[in-house]
Structure 1
Amino acid sequence: MFEVAYETINLEQHSGTHPRLGVVDDIVLHPLARASLDEAAWLTKAVTTDIGNRFQVPVFLYGAAHPTGKALDSIRRELGYYRPNFMDNQWAGWTMPEILSVKPDEGPTCVSRARGITMIGARPWVRLYNVTMISTDVSVARRIARMVSARGGGLPTVQSLGLVHGENSIKIACMLLEPNRVEGDRV
């Protein structure tokens, strides 16, 4: 998958409304059937070493695969993931320094502007829940996202982001980290 993605997509020529730090931005391994989270974390670490070395991209571990359990959103914050870099609400190309100030878990500290960064983690299943609204005011989406998220004082275990979603709509993109605790109907 990495090989085809890197052959097909050049991050420098890409733009859109959803944030990203790399062509292959985030991979998460979930334990299935009788597998444990520890087993998923072990496999994540093995994959991370291979990806970092083979494709020469910085790779950051998160969740159960990270030595301290570091959360994906905290890595993203450190790396500037949530700050649009084009027309106040869009992401275009690669705008970070080519030498990272934060050391990746695998791979080089020098970033290919065409490939970017990859984050790989192990964690229990999450649920994604998106709400689209007819509006062009992205500040409304961001305000609602802040109110819904745990970080903004809203629902526990919910992370959310307000985004432009097409010409005449906005979206509140939510990640329900513990879907058995907070489900989409509460969002």
Structure 2
Amino acid sequence: MKLDKWIESVPNFSEGRDLKKVERIVDSFRAKPGVKLLDYSTDPDHNRCVVTVLGQPEPLKRAMVEAIGTAVELIDMTRHEGQHPRIGCVDVIPFIPVRDCTIQEADQLAREIAQEAALLYGQPFYLYEKSATAPHRVDLANIRKGQFEGLAEKMKDPLWKPDFGPDTIHPTGGATAIGARMPLICFNINLDTPNVEIARQIARRVRNIGGGLRYVKAMGIALEERNLAQVTMNLTDYTKTSIYGAFEMVKMEARRYGVRVVGSEVVGIVPMKALLDCAEYYLQIEDFSSEQVLELHIE
């Protein structure tokens, strides 16, 4: 599919257990001209679905508004339980410029979608990251603080009036954070212990706010189905904090508690450069260039 402007979006929906609902939401991105569904994954512990989609601005806008409406219809946040912080049925919708597109154009798309979806469905929207209208709204963690359960009270404060939509939560849909940002990598590391407090302690040391790696947000959660604890991370700038750097620091901190890393996962689509950096580091390749990757020579 040839696109003039490439914009990526990675919407996160608060449903990872009912696959029929997930499929109905994902159908919004299937077989739509100008839109390409790249990937989607579910996690029952997080109770969350992460979709990765690429498209032209207008077709992507139409598909996203449809997906938001389907999520508002199907997901009841008053009954939602999961390990991952969330404020709404569509928790967050980032837009990432990929090719022939600026961060300003991604921001404009986010605003147009928020305005239209708020009018259609009564869902409040907060602009975050590069789209934020105030410094305290840049960080998604600040918007999520208190989660869905505390959001109605939080929104009584004028500092937390939504950028689009009603001044109160949608009764079952909650609210949504939306905005433009640079590529983010969701990277999770599993430990050979069910003790979630160990994962939380490691996360505190690894994340930026705790004095760890500059471009890492992290927390510890329990993977109940696997009887493991997990350090779940967002790498907000992989060019400055690498996947392998985060991995090695978690391994080092795990030794403090006598536990080992037993696996990791990258959620969704990631830039090839991030993975090539890992290969170059672990294989100790000298004078490596991306021009040596065969697939990059295929048009």
Pairwise same-fold verdict (TM > 0.5):
yes
Residue of structure 2 in register with 1:35 after alignment: 101
1:164 deviates by 1.2
Higher relative contact order (CA 8 A, sep 6+): 1
TM-score by length of 2: 0.55
* 1:96 pairs with 2:150: yes
For residues 135 and 21 of structure 1, what CA distance do their matches in structure 2 show? 29
Q: Give the match for residue 167 of structure 2.
A: 109
Deviation by residue 1:74-104 (Cα, 9 ceiling, x = unmatched): 2223xx13xxxxxxxxxxxx52263522201
RMSD between superposed Cα atoms in Å? 1.6
Alignment of 1:107-146 (within 5 A): 107-146=165-204
Alignment of 1:1-187 (within 5 A): 1-68=67-134, 70-77=138-145, 80-81=146-147, 94-96=148-150, 98=152, 100-101=155-156, 102-167=160-225, 168-187=227-246
TM-score, normalising length: structure 1:
0.86
Distance in 2 of aligned mates of 1:14 and 1:68: 29
Question: Is the 1:52–1:58 contact (alpha carbons within 8 Å) kept by the matching residues of 2?
Answer: yes
Classify the secondary structure of the residue corresponding to 2:190. Answer: strand
Give the length in aligned residue pairs: 173
Is the Cα–Cα contact under 8 Å of residues 6 and 23 in structure 1 kept in the other structure? yes
Residue identity opposite 2:241 in structure 1: V
**Moved segments of 4+, more than 4 Å:** none
Give a deviation string over 1:13-36, Cα, whole Å, max 9, x none.
Answer: 221111211110000000011100
Which residue type is aligned with residue 112 of structure 1? H
Q: In the TM superposition, what is the alpha-carbon distance from 1:140 to its structure 2 partner?
A: 0.9
Q: Offset at 1:136?
A: 2.1
**2:221/2:229 contact within 8 Å kept:** yes
**Counterparts in 2 of 1:67 and 1:98: CA distance versus 1, 3 Å:** closer
Unaligned residue ranges in structure 1 (runs of 5+): 82-93
Listed as ranges, the gaps of 5+ residues in structure 2 are 1-66, 247-299
Using the TM superposition, give the Cα deviation of residue 11 of structure 1 relative to its aligned residue in structure 2, in angstroms. 1.1
Q: How much identity, in percent, do the aligned residues show?
A: 29
> Does structure 2 conserve the Cα–Cα contact (< 8 Å) formed by 1:26 and 1:118?
yes
Deviation at 1:180, TM superposition (A): 1.0
Distance 1:14 1:66 in 2: 27
Task: Mark the structure with the bigger radius of gyration.
Answer: 2
Code of the aligned partner of 1:114 = T
**Distance in 2, Cα, partners of 1:178 & 1:98:** 32
